[in-house]
Amino acid sequence: MVFKYKKKVNFQPNFYKYLELIKMKFSFIFFFILLISCSNSDIKSVDELWKSGIDNRAKNDLRLSITSFRSIVQNYPKSDISPKAQFQIADIYLNDVKDYTFAIDEFEFLIKTYPGAELAKKSAFMVAYIYSNYLEEFSLAIVKYELFLEKYPDDELIPSVEFELEGLRKHQQTIDSLNNL
């Protein structure tokens, strides 16, 4: 009886190639599933966020309202609705929360971020108005109103600015006379 010696075949290199192929396929599938699950399907549209902001403000849920408007500003900065959303945030701080410094910060953010927007003019007026009528910082109000006159000389708010300045200048004379004591 003759035994023939059979050469042992080494399957390891092919086996490792096969494992690498399987790992690559699973990696691709995992990446694809991850990509799908991380899609922006949770991000609401501008219109949905606007409606949510308005509805929540009407329900006096100011936190959710501000969150909706802020999402518009952050996620859709080039949208026509973004300056309106930013104005709503400032208006909430002014009229609902009554935090006048926050309101000024929000109005000034609108002016800086959307300088060409129509609401930037109104925001500039509102900053001066808050300084004058809520914070009684008359000197700052005068500076802000004069800046408005300089920046927007033909705006429809000019008569209101001039009226406010006329009243403030009376305060300015009193402040100046007290400073000279």
**Could you read off the pLDDT of 128-170 as tens digits, one per residue?**
999 999 999 999 999 999 999 999 999 999 999 999 999 998 8
Q: What dihedral angle (degrees, nearest 10) is formed by the CA atoms of 39, 43, 44, 50?
A: -150
Write 139-143 long-range contacts (CB < 8 A, 24+). Answer: 139/172, 139/175, 141/168, 142/168, 142/169, 142/172
Cα 82 to its chain centre, rounded Å, is 8
pLDDT of residue 164: 95
pLDDT of residue 39: 47
pLDDT tens, position by position, 1-13:
565 655 555 555 5
Domains delineated in the chain: 44-179 (1.25.40.10)
